[in-house]
Amino acid sequence: MAIIIYSLTNCPKCAAAKAVLKRNSIPFEEKNIDEGEENKKELASKLEEKGMPEAEVNMPVLDIEGTILEGFDKEKMLATLKEKGFLKESP
């Protein structure tokens, strides 16, 4: 899967990020870190590779073909999706 969203249960920003992807018909894989130790370890590993301290990261975390975005910044998210070819025109 080209897009993975690491989320938390009952996280409004996580829901907002997923809604942007769904609204634009962009397929993604969700990995809730509350629901699996493996998901949490995978996220920690990716953050470590990027030099991002896990304790300081805002949720959600999106992995868009290797580009890591943390927190919900709609404009940055849309710009990255467009740059990676997931959006053909401005939403």
* Token reading at 47: 């953050």
Q: Which residues lie closer than 8 Å to 6 by C-beta, 6 or more apart?
A: 31, 32, 33, 39, 42, 43, 59, 60, 61, 62, 63
Q: What pLDDT, on a 0 to 100 scale, did the predictor assign at position 91? A: 45
Q: Name the residue type at position 85.
A: G
- Provide the pLDDT for residue 53: 80
Q: What is the mean pLDDT of residues 51-64?
A: 88
Compute the mean pLDDT over every residue in the chain, rounded to the nearest whole number: 91
**60 pLDDT higher than 80:** yes
**Within 10 Å of residue 2's Cβ, how many Cβ atoms?**
14
Q: Is there a contact between 63 and 46 (Cβ–Cβ < 8 Å)? A: yes
Residue 80 pLDDT more than 80?
Answer: yes
Q: What is the mean pLDDT of residues 75-85?
A: 95
Please state which architecture CATH assigns to domain 3-81. 3-Layer(aba) Sandwich (3.40)
